[in-house]
Structure 1
Amino acid sequence: MNNNIIKFQYFPFHLVDPSPWPILTSFSLLNLTIGAVLYMHGYNNGGYVLTIGFILTTYVMILWFKDVVTEGTYLGHHTTEVKNGLMLGLILFIVSEVFAFISVFWAYFHSSLSPAIEIGGIWPPIGITPLDPFAIPLLNTFLLLSSGAFITYGHHALIAGNRKGAIDGVILTIILAVIFTALQYYEYSEAGFTIADGVYGSAFFASTGLHGIHVIIGTIFIAVALIRIINYQLTNKHHNGFESSILYWHFVDVVWLFLFVAVYFWGNT
């Protein structure tokens, strides 16, 4: 009797196989959170717990995303319905990120629009020398906007079948993103205040630092897309991961414009 049974799927959705990554990600994030709390409160070995949690979280995420890439590239599970679901999930994730930034801006404007008497009733508070918005912040604005233009060029080049143009556009985007991050680090090191310098320092570093983390994540996101383009895993018809990275990067661009106007320019007047 022939035991080779061909199974047919009569629906366009992907029923994911049992995976260990969700539960392992949860425990890794728990380890990361506990390590962060221990480190910030000065407990012994808190830094080691934090480092282990970060390494575990990164490793599990790499393995999980590797499975997703395999499902879409080699197993053919990413049908049109599945890709639409993945894009919807990314959009909802970005919406949650929007509210995270709204909370930071809320805290910033709560303190700056009506400065409390404890900080002298003025903004910026007495003793704080804010950064010049027309120095590094303005340069970083041009870098991010240019990177958004290059990544869009790479996207249209890929759709048009211009593989070299797509690769060049993505590489230029990554270079500009790395320069942006380096300038942000230099700006932090040269700032005349720290996150511990009252509400201004907390609001400034919380807002720009949160954005900086998103820039680093977006850069990694785009770098993975570049590797997949080079390895012929993304085509003009199948590049959902690349489109996701582009959408995320444009979100980062828009947030920076709000930061530049509100925190650097208006907050300096």
Structure 2
Amino acid sequence: MSSNSTPYYFVPGLSRHPAMAAFGLIAFGFGISGWVNHASWGGPLTLAGVAFVLYVLYNWFGDTIAESNAGKNGVNVDISYRWSMAWFIFSEIMFFGAFFAALFYARNIAMPWMGDVESKLLWPNFQAVWPNDGPAGLVEKFTTMGPWPIPTINTLLLLSSGVTITIAHHALVENHMKKAIIGLAATVGLGIVFLGFQVYEYYHAYHELNLKLTSGIYGSTFFMLTGFHGFHVFLGGTMLAIVLRRMIRGDFTSKHHFAFEGAAWYWHFVDVVWLGLYIAVYWM
């Protein structure tokens, strides 16, 4: 990419995409509010809002990719993208930090407090032992989810995917495109297998362990942490699949491939979150 063809800082023209995305999100918000209140129009409006936002994002990212392939993104735009992705991942760290904090508070602060001498007057039969189904006996009996075998298998899968995407990155930097494509395809495949195991784990939890989202504080924290992580694996896998398609198409060079790097950063973040989740949720 010659310096003569690349602007100092590319500023795109007026765009309809932000307004359209806002419209879709408003529809999604109204749909969700109607859905949880059992309105007949809530579900369809929610799905329509999601579909419309995905349509907008498809076209928005398509325009951005076209600008990049046209050589309009110079060094300064690349730096902006890197900072933007870094802040986005930081916001995701705060997101998961809140759920880990809720788990820590319930297990290490609220539960011992409910089991102290004064609380025994209200709940004499309560045992301050984690996991817990609460002091009032309102939660159905359930069996906890241990680390064997599926969570441990999934840990090995994600750790392996971290290796394969690193191999793909080094191959891309060294201009070994075939090796990079194979490494990235393997990463996407490992992510799909991970999600398949998690779907089976949820089925096992609901139908054999009676472990549900309504199973007290244990059930709610378990499904919120693992469920949102699974969604992030799906999101990261989607990003990597799009990057894989672009790599096969020849959009990247050894020096111009931030889309790959941004998706790889996100995937490594997903790996690290899982390690914390694996220890805090399945072992502790």
Normalising by structure 2, we get a TM-score of 0.87
- Counterpart for residue 98 of structure 2: 103
Q: Is the 8 A contact 2:6 2:74 kept in 1?
A: no
Taking only the aligned residue pairs, the percentage that are identical comes to 36
Structure 1 residue 91 corresponds to structure 2 residue 86 = yes
Matches of 2:269 and 2:192 in 1, distance apart?
Answer: 17
Q: Which 10-residue stretch deviates more, 36-45 or 112-121? A: 112-121
Shift of 1:134: 2.4
Q: 1:128 Cα shift? A: 3.4
Q: Distance in 2 between matches of 1:73 and 1:238?
A: 10
The list of structure 1 runs, each at least 4 consecutive aligned residues, that deviate by more than 3 angstroms after superposition, is 8-11, 116-120
2:237 paired with 1:230: no
- Residue matched to 2:282: 264
1:16-165 equivalences under 5 Å are 16-74=12-70, 76-114=71-109, 115=111, 116-117=114-115, 120-126=127-133, 127-165=141-179
Q: Which stretch shows the higher mean deviation, 112-121 or 185-194?
A: 112-121
Helix, strand or coil at the partner of 1:245? helix
Is the 2:7–2:72 contact (alpha carbons within 8 Å) kept by the matching residues of 1? Answer: no
Measure the CA separation in 2 of the matches of 1:172 and 1:40. 39
Q: Secondary structure at the match of 1:13?
A: coil
Taking the aligned partners of 1:41 and 1:253, their CA distance within structure 2 comes to 36
Alpha-carbon spacing, 1:9–1:156, altered in 2? closer, same or farther (3 Å): closer
- Could you tell me which residue of structure 2 aligns to residue 3 of structure 1? none
Counterpart residue identity of residue 130, structure 2: W
Q: Distance in 1 between matches of 2:41 and 2:202?
A: 27
Pick the aligned partner of 2:220 from 202, 222, 240: 202
Give the counterpart letter for 1:151 in structure 2: I
Q: Quick check: 1:186 aligned with 2:204?
A: no
Range with greater deviation from structure 2 (36-45 or 245-254): 36-45
Partner letter of residue 190 of structure 1? H
Q: What is the identity, as a one-letter code, of the residue corresponding to 1:30?
A: I
Give secondary structure in 2 for the equivalent of 1:113: helix
Shift of 1:221: 0.4
Structure 1 residue 214: Cα displacement: 0.6
List runs of 5+ in structure 1 lacking aligned partners. Answer: 1-7
Distance in 2 separating the partners of 1:229 and 1:34: 39
Distance in 1 (CA, whole Å) between partners of 2:46 and 2:214 is: 21
1:40 deviation in Å? 2.4
Give how far 1:120 is off: 4.0
Q: Deviations over 1:107-153 (max 9, x none)?
A: 11111113135774221014332112121000000000101110110
* RMSD of aligned residue pairs (Cα, Å): 1.7
Quick one: distance in 2 between partners of 1:143 and 1:103? Answer: 26
Unaligned runs of 5+ in 2: 116-122, 134-140
Aligned to 2:119: none
Question: 1:199 Cα shift?
Answer: 1.3
Structure-2 separation of matches of 1:9 and 1:135: 55
After superposition, the Cα gap between the structure-2 partners of 1:104 and 1:67, relative to the gap in structure 1 and judged at 3 Å, is same
Equivalent-residue separation in structure 1 for 2:147 and 2:168 (angstroms)? 30
Letter in 1 for 2:132: P
d(CA) in 1 for partners of 2:148, 2:270 = 20
Residue aligned with 1:196, SS: coil
| Equivalent position amino acid for 2:29 in 1 | T
Please state whether the residue corresponding to 1:60 is helix, strand or coil.
helix
> Which residue identity is paired with 2:88?
F
The whole-number CA distance in structure 2 between the counterparts of 1:241 and 1:66 is 12
**CA offsets 1:197-239 (integer angstroms, 9 cap, x no match):** 2211111111111111110000010001101111101111110
